[in-house]
Chain A
């Protein structure tokens, strides 16, 4: 018995790392792309397995997680826009209720030390609790979710396959979703290929990259294109509408600070900023060039009035941002509904 278990375990471990990719070869679910730092979520207690990943994916696309079974995670996080919410300024939840923030894209989140625009969620495994419990998103209790999963025809067997027990728990549910979401890696854009020496940049792309490194890199740091810090990039002069990071820390010096977003796939993830107020990348350029609002928490890097950019520089920057789109990721069948 013990031996059989051992052998099964071994097989699981051997299989666990890989899944079939389009080119017929195998690609690991989770890996550290060249040049990336060590991830924050390391999967030690939760190694990715094909069964765990498949369960996480089913949960992600299943409206069973919402009170009236109308909204899935995948309703607000859509693969073709890098798991952002296509063309929505503010998130749309249950009963068409509007949230107060813009759905961020999802990728490389195993590298995130915290989640949400204000960093309020401190661990990948508890992230789904926020939308599930949010009255304007899925408006459901975790106790109900577990009850519904237990009653379903399909889930007990899937939990058994993934975790060796058909007892459905919050922890197993969260870990399956962490396997799925944690495996969403975006590191195959033209920019990555350029850095690998596989493709060349056009002159405009090259000039955009240089401008980016000179003017944007200090916050949108390579290779994740965010340094994960919380900053005020000058959108507002007061923060009555959304206190941002201060909502979590209660510290006045954190008012109006939001987590620096990654700019990978940014062409796809419009509209922009935490409340989706800016429609186009040119609007973003104009904001940094001439729209910076002064306030006591404005980031020092922007406090001299913003980032002066010529029309040509704006265009080159936008051209460069275009190289950050990862078509492999948005077409990857493993993540398809």
Chain B
């Protein structure tokens, strides 16, 4: 099956997932996409997070068809710092960004402002939703402190906890983003 997609539509329906490696970007994209994302997975050269032995080095790509000839393009930005140059390339022309973070990270507060700032530094008016995974496993997870830190950085994006493996929960992030565009 081939998709006929015009360039204009391609620019206007791009959604980008950013965040550190192991947070759940690829999983989130896979949860809502029509087919498994095309990802460039490579063995990691940095210390592994949990049992993860591979991570996305270049990017993830997948589509969500919205009508016969229209698709939303989902992109996952590589998490590692040395792929920083990829972020503005992928964010360019997106209608929104979803920041995916690992709630089990002891520095979740620092991580959330760090990654949200990457998006707002690129474009302060770009609609953004923060999604935090693994809060089921992290008993000390503190949403209120994350919210407070975001506010201190002048960021008013919704902060949602979710399970990237769950389609409904991942879709909630997209819904919130769409409501911000309305």
> Do A and B share a complex?
no
Residues of chain B whose beta carbon lies under 8 Å from any beta carbon of chain A: none
Residues of chain A whose beta carbon lies under 8 Å from any beta carbon of chain B: none
